[in-house]
Amino acid sequence: MEIKKEKINEILVLEINGRLDTTNYSELDEIFADHISKNEINIIVDCKNMDYISSSGLRVFLTALKKINAANGKFLLCGLQETIQEIFKISGFTSIFKIFDNQEEALKETS
Amino acid sequence: MKKNKLIIKNNVSELEKVSVFVEKIVKEFKIPDKLIFNINLVLEEIISNIIFYAFDDESDHEILIEAKLIEDDLHILIKDDGKAFNLLDAPAPTDLNAGIDDRSIGGLGIHFAKTLMDNIDYKRENDNNKIYLRKQIS
């Protein structure tokens, strides 16, 4: 997994590339925790190049969402591949997360 | 009948070998691409559960993963010598329609296995847990 970071109009955009699984979920968990602790609580996670996620990865997203909601920030996901959308559906996560087709749509939500 | 197997140690770093193994059987068994994700996911969830919860001692244990293609059905056996645990008896995840505050991840891995495979069986034999998965591939 590789994570690219970018700041667009005070919004932190994280792009996840590759697999998010039991072997590496803690890397992403630490990145979220670090930014949230610095009060950077408007985050878009671009998943267009994330080709795999397991329940460990879902847990990291859920933890970040809970913390950011509690701090009145925004945690948005975008660009989910079809197979991953399916996993979100099976998990009942589509109703919990704000999910957008792409980064542009997610950025509109933050403006 | 095509057949292949992998033996790993009870360590999280060994999970990478499982995804390499899946790539291998997908080629050998000519499994359609759309199933690769689901097979990977179900194996990771079940095997990581075993690695995290099946063993109380500090010693190394082996986990066997055996894949067979019988006609159009992929059969996978996962065997470990840990504590008895029948995943079919595991509680369903907390309400999948619950709001965010009531959501947890517990049980989600087993829920994936039950949803994404056609059949799951469990046997306790000679102090081993045996999990049998079946998925039609065409």
pLDDT in tens, A32-82: 999 999 999 999 999 999 999 999 999 999 999 999 999 999 999 999 999
Cβ within 8 Å of residue A25, ≥6 positions away = A56, A57, A59, A60
Q: Is the pLDDT of residue B104 over 80?
A: no
Q: In 3-state terms, what secondary structure has residue B127?
A: coil
B97 falls in which pLDDT band (50, 70, 90)? Answer: confident
The pLDDT value given to residue B1: 87
Q: How far does the CA of residue A74 sit from the closest CA of chain B (Å)?
A: 14
Task: Domain count for chain A, please give it.
Answer: 1
The pLDDT value given to residue A77: 98
Q: Is the pLDDT of residue A86 over 90?
A: yes
Check if the beta carbon of residue A80 is closer than 8 Å to that of residue A98.
no
Q: Is the pLDDT of residue B93 over 80?
A: no
Domain regions of chain B by residue span? 2-136
Instruction: CATH number of the domain at A20, please.
Output: 3.30.750.24
CATH match of B2-136 with 3.30.565.10: yes
B41 to A52: CB separation less than 8 angstroms, yes or no? yes
User: β-strand A74-78 against A50-53: which pairing, if any?
Assistant: unpaired
A85 falls in which pLDDT band (50, 70, 90)? Answer: very high
DSSP secondary-structure letter at B12? Answer: G
Domain that holds residue A50: 2-110
- Tell me which chain A residues have a C-beta less than 8 angstroms from the C-beta of B105: 55, 58-59, 62
Check if the beta carbon of residue A13 is closer than 8 Å to that of residue A103.
yes
Phi and psi torsions of B14, nearest 5°: -75, -15
Report the percentage of chain B scoring pLDDT > 70: 99
Q: Comparing C-alpha atoms, which of B87, B82, B85 is closest to residue B57?
A: B82
B106 falls in which pLDDT band (50, 70, 90)? Answer: confident
Chain B residue with the nearest C-alpha to that of A20: B41
Chain A residue with the nearest C-alpha to that of B100: A96
The pLDDT value given to residue B62: 98
The interface predicted TM-score of the complex, written ipTM, equals 0.91
Q: How far does the CA of residue A21 sit from the closest CA of chain B (Å)?
A: 8
Q: How many Cβ atoms are within 10 Å of A17's Cβ, its own excluded?
A: 15
